[in-house]
Amino acid sequence: MFKAIFLTRDGEQFDAAVRDISEDELARQTPGTEVLLDVEYSTINYKDALALTNRSPIVRRWPMVAGIDCAGRVAASDDPRWRVGDRAILNGWGASEQHWGGLSQKARSRADWLVPLPPEFTTRQAMAIGTAGYTAALSLSALDHYGIKAEQGDVLVTGATGGVGSIAIALLAARGFRVVAATGKPAEGDYLKRLGAAEVIDRKELSAAGKPLQSERWAAAVDSVGSHTLANACAQVKRAGAVAACGLAQGMDLPTTVAPFILRGVALLGIDSAQAPLARRLAAWKLLSESLNKALLESMTREVPLAGAFDTARDIMEGRNTGRVVVDVNR
């Protein structure tokens, strides 16, 4: 038997609790999986917070083991690409939505879904990065591919104190960009500057309805907020700039016009972390291993036990969390 965060729903009645589960039950609930992991660490991302608090229909199949991420050692494998003892990372692929996830002491995965743990990281550091940091790396890769250079000007990062924003700032600053961080937590200005932000602005400058085309301020932006914030970011990006859109903390809507795209040639780059192909995942983890300062990563990370995931999820939903949270599933 092993412990996991188990989500159930009976009509309108929702429950989330730490429960004992057998390996046989795990195998029955995860058909088609070739690899069994002994999980060492997981984490709490915004999507995890939505699932654990039942604030959004993240879970598509019931019952469900929560957790869109995990990292650990291969305990058994029916696929020759993975051997017992290999260290691996799982991000996305429907974990905690349609497939039992990683807030658990054991997890099963398809071999194709796993990424080898980069030798530069421990499993704890990989989960300090988690889907949030991996998404930030995908966003930077997209801006790199589009041709955005540091000399073109400031890069805006919205949702700056969150997991995506924190790691995006650290990565951008390490690569020579001047970063402007937008946050609703002015007291966290010193934290953001320690990560590498050159300037901190109030998110209120971006969160309300604005003009379709505004003064050019940013060479590019990384947005994890959506809604009016993303619309305003697009309206303020310089000619031939780009915005990497990777989140919806403010909302799923996008109240904008075609003006930034057809009058300034702004590109809106969608970042899909859950279903990204292996080559893109490997490139993102390579970028993280090359550019992310481990001391900075540790400074933005705190650790909780498995049962601590519930309070963390509530903190995230209420805007009280800063940085990254690692879950030690074995305590």
pLDDT score of 57 = 86
122's CB contacts (< 8 A; 6+ apart) are none
Helix 278-291 with 123-146: angle, nearest 10 deg: 100
Residue 319 has a pLDDT of 87
CA-nearest of 143, 125, 137, 188 to 162 is 188
Q: What is the pLDDT of residue 11?
A: 85
Average pLDDT, integer, range 278-300: 95
Q: Find out whether 272 and 142 touch, Cβ atoms under 8 Å.
A: no
The two three-digit tokens of residue 269, written as one number: 């780059």
Question: Span 146-156, mean pLDDT?
Answer: 97
For each of the domains in the chain, give its residue range(s) and CATH number, in order of start: 2-117+300-328 (3.90.180.10), 129-270 (3.40.50.720)
The pLDDT tens digits for 236-252 are 999 999 999 999 999 99
Given pLDDT bands bounded at 50, 70 and 90, which one contains residue 170? very high
Q: Is the pLDDT of residue 12 over 90?
A: no
Burial pattern 295-327, b for ≥16 Cβ within 10 A else e, equals: ebbeebbebbebebbbebbeebbeeebbbbbbb
What pLDDT is recorded for position 184? 94
The closest of 105, 133, 101, 94 to 41, measured between CA atoms, is: 105
Count CA within 13 A, CB hemisphere, residue 308.
15
Strand partners, 118: none
What's the whole-model pTM score?
Answer: 0.94
User: Could you read off the pLDDT of 28-57 as tens digits, one per residue?
Assistant: 999 999 999 999 999 999 999 999 999 888
| Whole-number average pLDDT of the chain | 96
Q: Residue 73: is its pLDDT beyond 90?
A: yes
- The pLDDT > 90 percentage for the chain reads 96
Residue 132 confidence (pLDDT): 94
Where does the pLDDT of residue 293 fall: very low under 50, low under 70, confident under 90, or very high at 90 and above? very high
pLDDT at 56: 82
